Every structure is written in structure tokens, then in C-alpha cells.
């Protein structure tokens, strides 16, 4: 940042601090676990689409209500890896 004006530098530092304060959120452990389950279900849907979810639209957006269904399909049609992943989603 050679040659940068002090006022510009101070402005950037201030907006960086403000953004850092606003972006910090606190989640209770249960909500965090649900977010992780949903992310894993979405990942599994994409990864196992050809094997387990071939009749569904590949662009389908998995929601929190779909997580048990994704786990069930993985455990039925996903082989050993799918079963293990489905069992992890059921916890």
C-alpha cells in the first residue's frame, strides 16, 4: 500500500473493522449441527445423483426437510459408502 493516502487507509481500516464485527454470529450447537447436516446432504445428493437420485432434477435444491429422504435413498441405493453417509446424516 505504498503511496496510499492516510485518509483512504483509515477509511479502509474502519470499514474492515465494521464488517468483521457484523459478520460474527453466534449459533447454538443444535442449529450448527443442522446446518452441517444440510450441507452434507446437498453434497451427497450431487455426488450420488447418478446412482441414487437419477430420477430427480440434478439442479434440485435439497432443503432441511429433505435430509431424511436423502439419507434413506443413500442407505438403500448408495452401496457401502452411501449407507455410511446416510447413517451419518441420520444422527
Q: Is 5 inside any structural domain?
A: no
Are the C-beta atoms of 37 and 69 separated by less than 8 Å? Answer: no
Q: Is 58 inside any structural domain?
A: yes
Residue with grid cell 447454538, as numbered in its chain: 28
Domain that holds residue 57: 28-90
Q: Is 79 inside any structural domain?
A: yes
Please count the structural domains in the chain.
Answer: 1
Q: Is 15 inside any structural domain?
A: no
Q: What is the pLDDT of residues 49-85, one digit of tens each?
A: 999 999 999 999 999 999 999 999 999 999 999 999 9
Where on the phi/psi map is residue 3: left (φ > 0), alpha (ψ -120 to 50), or beta? Answer: left
Q: Is 85 inside any structural domain?
A: yes
Q: Is 3 inside any structural domain?
A: no
pTM over 0.75, yes/no: no
Q: Is 4 inside any structural domain?
A: no
Q: Is 63 inside any structural domain?
A: yes
Amino acid at each position: 500500500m505504498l503511496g496510499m493516502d492516510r485518509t483512504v487507509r483509515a477509511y479502509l481500516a474502519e470499514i474492515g473493522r465494521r464488517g468483521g464485527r457484523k459478520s460474527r454470529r453466534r449459533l447454538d450447537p443444535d442449529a450448527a449441527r443442522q446446518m452441517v447436516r444440510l450441507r452434507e446432504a446437498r453434497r451427497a445428493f450431487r455426488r450420488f445423483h447418478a446412482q441414487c437420485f437419477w430420477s430427480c432434477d440434478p439442479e434440485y435444491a435439497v432443503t432441511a426437510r429433505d435430509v431424511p429422504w436423502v439419507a434413506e435413498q443413500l442407505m438403500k441405493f448408495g452401496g457401502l459408502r452411501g449407507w455410511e453417509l446416510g447413517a451419518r446424516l441420520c444422527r
